[in-house]
Amino acid sequence: MKAKILLKEKVTHGTALLPVAIHHLSYGPNEDIFFYLHWHYEFEFIAVLEGAVVYTVEEQEYCIMAGEGLFVHSNELHAARACNGMPCEACVVLFHPSLFGENKQGTAYSKFVYPILNGKMIFEKHFKSRQWQQSVIERITEIDAMRNENITENELLLKSKLFEIWHLCFKNSTSEAPHRQGRRNYKLERMQPVLDFIHLNYREDIALRDLARIIPMSEGQFCHAFKEVVNTPPIAYVIRYRILQSCTLLMDTDRKIADIAKSVGFNNISYFNREFIKAIGCPPGKYRSEG
């Protein structure tokens, strides 16, 4: 989605020489905690030590309980929030793909990183009770214990744990069959004119029948095909794209929120506010003031 650039996290994780960041998340019961929708180039691994947290990753929700973990792929939109008033203590580790070497033709990168980045190999997302998953969570926890130490002095130890995590995930990853990948590429190529139409005309009224005619398909067939490719129903995609467009206007202009809502295709400010909160996790005014 081109509009992802609007929500790219501005924080630098680690340094160019050691692109790794270790964060420790902790909050008490009944706290109204929400980490806004964002994305970054880094891979992200989470292990929950106590309580629970809800992560939303590209429209899919995961409730991560104590003793469980999660993998967030590079460039995936994600947010997090408290789970039913429960407290949470968790470890969050982020690292850039360049940790495996800047040379994309290098053996480690080409064999073990690039297949994940291009979707030929797929990591499991939610780590639960399987032995290898528990090993991943243990390594994340061990890395978390290093957060207050001089990371540079412990670089070899840190990298060894990250490489072990990657080894376990890669060893237990699944491959996408070539014929399935070919079908997916064909479906995405076929749907591209619809996406282009939405990106150009999102300010205007867009009906389902208008999108279905572009292919052309019946509305029912089109809804099924669109969701299969984009993982979101077509009208929901239009609404989300409008919301993402509004984010940059909220941050880069002083225009009134009602004016921004209208300029991205919402004729009703209350509806805009509801959809904004649903997508981003806070009201547009708060998003602007805290951005």
CATH number at residue 68: 2.60.120.280
**Predicted local distance difference test score (pLDDT) of residue 185:** 57
Same domain, 75 and 141: yes
Domain final residue, candidates 140, 175, 210: 175
Same domain, 35 and 91: yes
**Predicted local distance difference test score (pLDDT) of residue 1:** 33
Q: How confident is the model at residue 31 (pLDDT cuts 50, 70, 90)?
A: confident
181 has pLDDT over 60:
no
The answer to whether 98 and 147 are in contact (CB under 8 A) is: no
Same domain, 12 and 72: yes
Q: How confident is the model at residue 2 (pLDDT cuts 50, 70, 90)?
A: very low
What pLDDT digit, counting tens, does each position of 182-227 carry?
A: 555 566 678 889 989 998 999 999 999 999 999 888 999 999 888 8
**Predicted local distance difference test score (pLDDT) of residue 5:** 39
Same domain, 229 and 101: no
Tokens 């794209």 belong to residue: 241
Instruction: Tokens for 122, please give them.
Output: 């797929």
Same domain, 154 and 190: no
What pLDDT digit, counting tens, does each position of 267-289 carry?
A: 999 999 999 888 777 889 988 88
Same domain, 164 and 215: no
Same domain, 279 and 197: yes
Domain final residue, candidates 175, 202, 234: 175
Domains identified in the chain, total number: 2
Same domain, 206 and 164: no
Where in the sequence is the domain holding 97, given as residue range(s)? 2-175
Q: What is the CATH number of the domain that holds 188?
A: 1.10.10.60
> DSSP E strands: which ranges in the chain?
20-27, 34-38, 43-57, 60-65, 69-72, 78-82, 88-95, 121-122, 126-127, 174-175
Same domain, 152 and 217: no
Give dist(CA 276, CA 261) in Å, integer. Answer: 10
Same domain, 166 and 236: no
- Highest averaged pLDDT of the listed ranges 5-9, 67-71, 75-79, 187-191: 67-71
Same domain, 245 and 206: yes
What pLDDT digit, counting tens, does each position of 131-158 carry?
A: 999 999 999 999 999 988 888 889 999 9
Domain final residue, candidates 133, 151, 175: 175
The predicted model gives 226-247 an average pLDDT of: 85
**Predicted local distance difference test score (pLDDT) of residue 180:** 54
**Predicted local distance difference test score (pLDDT) of residue 272:** 95
The predicted model gives 41-55 an average pLDDT of: 94
**Predicted local distance difference test score (pLDDT) of residue 78:** 86
Q: Tell me which DSSP letter residue 177 carries.
A: P
Same domain, 184 and 171: no
The answer to whether 151 and 18 are in contact (CB under 8 A) is: yes
254 has pLDDT over 60:
yes
**Predicted local distance difference test score (pLDDT) of residue 271:** 95
Give dist(CA 247, CA 72) in Å, integer. Answer: 22
